[in-house]
Structure 1
Amino acid sequence: MNTERVDTDLIIAGGGLAGATLALALARLVPELKVTVVEAFPLSPEALPEDYQPSYDSRSTALAWGSRLIFDQLGLWRQLSEHATPIRHIHVSDRGRFGATRLHANEHGQDALGYVADNRWMGLCLMRALLDTRVSWQAPAQVEGMKPVAGGVRVAIRKDGAQKELTARCLVIADGGRSGLREKLGFVTRTEAYGQNALIANVSTSDSHQFTAYERFTEAGPMALLPHGSPKRPGHQSALVWTLENEALDEILSLSDEQKCQKLQERFGWRLGRFTHIGQCHHYPLNLTTVDEPARPGVVLVGNAAHALHPVAGQGFNLALRGLMTLVEQFRRAVDEGISIGELSVLGRYQQLHRQDWQHTVQFSDSLIRIFGQPLAPIAAARDAGLVGLDLLPGAKRWFARKAMGTGGRKPLVGSGVSSFEAEKHDR
């Protein structure tokens, strides 16, 4: 590697799910690197509770089976699984029409097709694991700027009201798409608005979910209900992702909880019985956001800072996680070959590999939105036939299952210990 003196090999801007996972993966798989995480929220071992008590209103993330394999590789899955609800069945349907398809984990020799885990629980598991590594933290602190220097970058960090600088071989921006840091550094984003919003809440139903995830396409947009709560007993709580246009969102938010349940019942139907309770509602606008060149010498974007997509099929965090592992793989290779991790050849190779995955995933999710958003009768009949065909054609069904489970892709780099699961909600 280059011999220029640096304060740290790698600075990660953002210690949320993406940044913390990257830090842990590097500690496990590229331990030679000195890693520093800059996080805006205060962190301390004393703040980590001994016992986790799930909240009804906890925000959650859908984890594909491929993501479970990654966390297992990082030695984190055993702990994560304590509060991760399995998805053993997936039911996809077109509201008001006959088209439907069903996926079952046992048909693929798996215990689950995916899982649903609270974001806070995932964060706690990551923090506990990171306490036993050499990763250092600057928190609460923020990255305010960066400029290239010989052999790497100089990063401006504000902490305790004062600014200081650290030199590193590479800066990874993992602070999501809303901090403004990527724009401050001159990265150009392209945003395509879907004209929709995602309303997120946890709901209770009179019938048990039986570990089934429902993806329901309606004339007003897709709606997902994911099993939530106990990882062992089929319960009555589900995580809702409800796609609504602006006026419809305003109308729903103005209603009482009982009225919200009634509206939800009208849209979803009775597959889970009666909706009996809806928790705190969160919402955000839906956009397809891309960055044409997310990698430059010494700096690279990951997770939502690099791309954001529609939450249909729960692809977002799983795509980000696969990208993180691809980046770790390239860092591992660079260290083995004596190349600086900030070289454009290293980061450009990551960009090339991850872009293939990103393009396939966006094509998959975006096509679902556009196909199921068409009200024309011939198109509606064709998509119904397609859903039925998925149930009848084993090859097509396996392809769809692989997309949902995130298990397609390249083999791991030989000898690296890093697996890339390169084929397939909020990662910050």
Structure 2
Amino acid sequence: MATFDTDLIIAGGGLAGATLALAVARAVPSLRVTVVEAFPLSPDALPESYQPSYDARSTALAWGSRLIFEELGLWQRLAEHATPIKHIHVSDRGHFGATRLHAVDHGQEALGYVADNRWMGLCLMRELLDTGVQWRAPAEVTDMIPMPGGVRVRLSEGDDTREMSARCLVVADGGRSGLREKLGFQPDRHSYGQNALIANVSTSDSHDFTAFERFTEAGPMALLPHGSPARAGHQSALVWTLSDDALGQVLELSDEEKCRWLQKRFGWRLGRFTRIGTCHHYPLTLTTVSEPVRPGVALVGNAAHALHPVAGQGFNLALRGLMTLVEQFRLAEENGLGIGDLEVLGRYQSLHRQDWQQTVRFSDSLIRLFGQPMAPVVAARDAGLVGLDLLPGAKRWFARKAMGLGGRRAVIDRPGNHPQETIGHE
């Protein structure tokens, strides 16, 4: 029987990779895990030293993601700087259609949360310090060769190159590193011809823990409550969809002019826009890999599927997929199977496929529906928004989608726990 340097190599130590490492450490502590991360790690970067920044990038966490982080023992710390979304307001600019969701109507304290990416990373790192997970940073996975029962991975560490063997490689470094293509996976890409502009903004009126999804003729615009988790404030996280031409125009504007342009398109539901922070932007592309596994290798997160941010489901979908993969690792260990066996990874793909296909269809259909300017389509979608607001069944379905409760979610079975089900519907 072949011997391996480690059991699992995770290429990428960002939010997806670090969460996967922690979940494996919690659920399958017998597995040796090595995370390979391109950026150096600072031993001083811990939650205790965290100071929120106005320009911090953030992620929308669905209620279902909170449940996963609770299972990982991470939520209590994360919640210290996670702003709750208690209300969601969806509207179509210039038309009467609108729908509103309220957490209290669904027996929840929140529909979701908004957390700074850096804060989430620090919380994950704090928890990982108490596990046996090994880190190689700064380092990158540059190639992989199949071997009996596993893979041999080539690592680049500065000017040095070395190899490590493992039973399985998980690619969790996003869709831009090039590793996915280097390993022979072919993604399907559909460009939306749009860009996402990301920034934090301040308004004269309090957000009252409300997330706004505003569909405009130029594309969707989202404002998510940001800042204190205990007191409704005036800061929101903006995701603004713009064409190439419009993006170029906006980036040339002064901050005051950006606020005026934003005001014209969003309206006055939050009063006057008083400040906009550092703007980041990236092109919007629907990217999927139809076969994200092969013997010894699995793609997860944005490496497997990158969505339009319209519904804020990207990381939440990835998180559900990670838990499904961890559950398959646990079952493989219990049944004497290799964690990189195609039978094991194929089971993960089969279970996760329906979730990501449904989520992709949901997000993509919103873009196509609200991107249609024809009068009959406008009338139909406005009627649909009103219907969502008036029909309890339809509204509950929409709320469950927004809360990330529509897909399969694996339950972490820690040693000593014996849940009645290990895979269940939320």
Structure 2 length-normalised TM:
0.97
In structure 2, C-alpha distance between the alignment counterparts of 1:387 and 1:274, rounded to whole Å = 26
In structure 2, C-alpha distance between the alignment counterparts of 1:47 and 1:229, rounded to whole Å = 21
Secondary structure in structure 1 of the residue aligned to 2:397 = helix
Please name the residue that 1:426 is paired with: none
- Decide which of 79, 90, 101 is 1:92's aligned counterpart: 90
In structure 1, C-alpha distance between the alignment counterparts of 2:142 and 2:384, rounded to whole Å = 50
1:139-288 equivalences under 5 Å are 139-288=137-286
CA distances 1:87-135 after superposition (whole Å, capped 9, x unpaired)? 0000000001000000000001100000000000000000010000000
In structure 2, C-alpha distance between the alignment counterparts of 1:63 and 1:265, rounded to whole Å = 26
CA distances 1:401-423 after superposition (whole Å, capped 9, x unpaired)? 00000113447568469865767
Please name the residue that 1:69 is paired with: 67
Letter in 2 for 1:385: A
The answer to whether 1:322 aligns with 2:320 is yes
Secondary structure in structure 2 of the residue aligned to 1:147 = strand
Q: Give the superposition deviation at 1:158.
A: 1.2
Q: Give the superposition deviation at 1:151.
A: 1.3
Q: 1:99 to 1:253 in 2, by over 3 A?
A: same
CA distances 1:22-73 after superposition (whole Å, capped 9, x unpaired)? 0000001111110000001111423436331100000000000000000000
Deviates more, 1:281-290 or 1:48-57: 48-57
RMSD across aligned C-alpha pairs, in angstroms?
1.4
Letter in 2 for 1:24: L
Please name the residue that 2:112 is paired with: 114
CA distances 1:205-241 after superposition (whole Å, capped 9, x unpaired)? 0000000000000011000000000000000000000
Q: Where does the alignment leave 5 or more consecutive residues of structure 1 unmatched?
A: 424-428
In structure 2, C-alpha distance between the alignment counterparts of 1:405 and 1:420, rounded to whole Å = 19
Letter in 1 for 2:101: L
In structure 1, C-alpha distance between the alignment counterparts of 2:421 and 2:188, rounded to whole Å = 31
- Decide which of 296, 299, 315 is 2:297's aligned counterpart: 299
Contact 2:139–2:157 (8 Å) recurs in 1? yes
CA distances 1:310-348 after superposition (whole Å, capped 9, x unpaired)? 000101000000000010011111111110000000001
CA distances 1:350-377 after superposition (whole Å, capped 9, x unpaired)? 1111111010001101100001111111
In structure 2, C-alpha distance between the alignment counterparts of 1:395 and 1:151, rounded to whole Å = 49
In structure 2, C-alpha distance between the alignment counterparts of 1:15 and 1:306, rounded to whole Å = 16
Please name the residue that 1:371 is paired with: 369
Q: Where does the alignment leave 5 or more consecutive residues of structure 2 unmatched?
A: none
Contact 2:213–2:220 (8 Å) recurs in 1? yes
Secondary structure in structure 2 of the residue aligned to 1:50 = helix
Contact 1:325–1:419 (8 Å) recurs in 2? no
Secondary structure in structure 2 of the residue aligned to 1:193 = strand
Secondary structure in structure 1 of the residue aligned to 2:44 = helix
In structure 2, C-alpha distance between the alignment counterparts of 1:190 and 1:416, rounded to whole Å = 38
The answer to whether 1:55 aligns with 2:49 is no
In structure 2, C-alpha distance between the alignment counterparts of 1:43 and 1:10, rounded to whole Å = 20
Letter in 2 for 1:406: G
Contact 1:213–1:226 (8 Å) recurs in 2? yes
In structure 2, C-alpha distance between the alignment counterparts of 1:77 and 1:418, rounded to whole Å = 22
In structure 2, C-alpha distance between the alignment counterparts of 1:421 and 1:380, rounded to whole Å = 38
Letter in 1 for 2:254: S
Contact 2:46–2:123 (8 Å) recurs in 1? no
CA distances 1:250-299 after superposition (whole Å, capped 9, x unpaired)? 00000000000000000000000000000000000000001121100000
Structure 1 length-normalised TM:
0.96
Please name the residue that 1:12 is paired with: 10
Secondary structure in structure 1 of the residue aligned to 2:389 = helix
Q: Give the superposition deviation at 1:303.
A: 0.4
Q: Give the superposition deviation at 1:150.
A: 1.2
Count matched residues.
421
Q: 1:222 to 1:407 in 2, by over 3 A?
A: same
- Decide which of 30, 37, 41 is 2:35's aligned counterpart: 37
Letter in 2 for 1:304: N
Letter in 2 for 1:159: E
Please name the residue that 1:385 is paired with: 383
Secondary structure in structure 2 of the residue aligned to 1:388 = helix
| Identical counterparts, % of pairs | 76
Please name the residue that 2:360 is paired with: 362
Secondary structure in structure 2 of the residue aligned to 1:156 = strand
Q: Give the superposition deviation at 1:159.
A: 1.3
Please name the residue that 2:345 is paired with: 347
Letter in 2 for 1:306: A
Contact 2:151–2:167 (8 Å) recurs in 1? yes
Q: 1:365 to 1:411 in 2, by over 3 A?
A: closer
In structure 2, C-alpha distance between the alignment counterparts of 1:362 and 1:67, rounded to whole Å = 18
Contact 1:209–1:235 (8 Å) recurs in 2? yes
Please name the residue that 1:336 is paired with: 334
